[in-house]
Amino acid sequence: MEDIKRIKRELIAKGHILDYYHDTVQISNGNTAVWDFIAHKGAAAVVPVLEDGRILMVKQYRNALDRYTIEIPAGGVDTVDEPHYDAAMRELREETGYTTDKLEFLIVVNTTVAFCNEKISIYVAHISGKGGEQELDEDEFINVIPYEVSELERMIYAGEIMDSKTVAAIMAYKNKYLK
């Protein structure tokens, strides 16, 4: 990256889950440009697989899209130093009410590389037994619904599931575990 150099980073707005910056960069032809940058602490997600092979999905309202979505359970890390594994365990319990003894690493995705550094580590949880109570935040309303992998794949190709972490996770899970 010798031909591109950040000259300045200016905080424009500080939010609850992200910070918005203007980066002034010198590009390879010698000109300068101002690029938007969104800083995110990171997140973790989990593919919760029941004993019968179905995957627990969460249905929740997403303000940015003004609609309900179907996703894998996920959430931000509490601090930049929190291990993603710990955050995935917490989100599994909080959003679904289920727990597991161990998570298996699946993949890492950067969700929007053009302007944001959000990194989501995705794990697989093999669930046995019944779930407990969800531990939702005051502003969370989540329904937990089990789906067959084939149903989820159909929903992805039909454009019913478009969330990048969920699409990547379901397809990676299918490729790794259901060959």
Which residues fall within 8 angstroms of residue 51, CB to CB, at 6 or more apart?
126, 127, 128
pLDDT in tens, 75-97: 999 988 999 999 999 999 999 99
The mean-pLDDT minimum among 44-53, 70-79, 132-141 falls in 132-141
Tell how far CA 63 is from the center of its chain. Answer: 16
- The domains of the chain are located at 5-39, 41-177
Closest by CA position to 60, among listed 43, 50, 47, 73: 73
Which pLDDT score, from 0 to 100, does residue 137 have?
78
pLDDT in tens, 110-153: 999 999 999 999 999 999 877 888 878 788 888 999 999 999 99
Which residues fall within 8 angstroms of residue 85, CB to CB, at 6 or more apart?
44, 103, 121, 123
Under the banding of pLDDT at 50, 70 and 90, the label for residue 179 is confident
Which pLDDT score, from 0 to 100, does residue 129 have?
77
Would you tell me how many other CB atoms lie within 10 Å of the CB of residue 99? 15
Q: Would you state the structure tokens that stand for residue 55, as one six-digit string?
A: 């995957």
Fold of 41-177: Nucleoside Triphosphate Pyrophosphohydrolase (3.90.79)
Average pLDDT of 6-35?
95
Catalytic residues: 138
Under the banding of pLDDT at 50, 70 and 90, the label for residue 11 is very high
